[in-house]
Amino acid sequence: MTSNEEIADFLRANMGALNERMGVELVEISPERVVATMPVEGNTQPYGLLHGGASVVLAETLGSVAAALNAGPGRFAVGTDINATHHRSATKGLVTGVATPLHLGRTMASFEIAITDEDGRRVCTSRITCALIERDPTPKG
């Protein structure tokens, strides 16, 4: 059986090229709460504001990590739906995303992700739903 701590270590070490390029850093990982930061600089649209798509990348990363931690042994999570409401712009510093569960079922999990600026003002609210799927134990290829 793989512990949540082992899963968290694996996820930290394997964030993927997009998250690395965007500067996403996981700072807290537990089944109840996943937190990450992302710099605004380098993730802006032409007017110098944090790109809405960058906020969604941060939200999907957090929700996917949270779902993976809640999937259970022999299971994995895949995103099925994500939405985002952009409340205000951010032009500098770091934004912080916090994912918390809304629903934790056997086959489906949903999370709210609140993204705030360095002054604690909410920049974006996102919701993600992930399907929790059994791993196929049969080797491929």
Q: Which residues pair with 101 in a beta bridge?
A: 111
Q: Give me the active site residues, please.
A: 60
Q: What is the CATH number of the domain that holds 56?
A: 3.10.129.10
For the chain, what is the domain count? 1
Give a yes or no: residue 56 inside a domain: yes
User: Rounded to an integer, what distance in angstroms lies between the CA atom of residue 133 and that of residue 16?
Assistant: 21
pTM: 0.90
Q: What size, in residues, is the chain?
A: 141
Reading the chain (141 residues) residue by residue, the pLDDT tens digits are 456 677 667 777 777 889 999 999 999 999 999 999 999 999 999 999 999 999 999 999 999 999 999 998 889 999 999 999 999 999 999 999 999 999 999 999 999 999 999 999 999 999 999 999 998 766 666
**How far is CA 11 from its chain centroid?**
11
Query: Do the beta carbons of residue 42 and residue 23 sit within 8 Å?
Result: yes
Give a yes or no: residue 139 inside a domain: no
**Residue numbers of the domain that contains 41:** 4-134
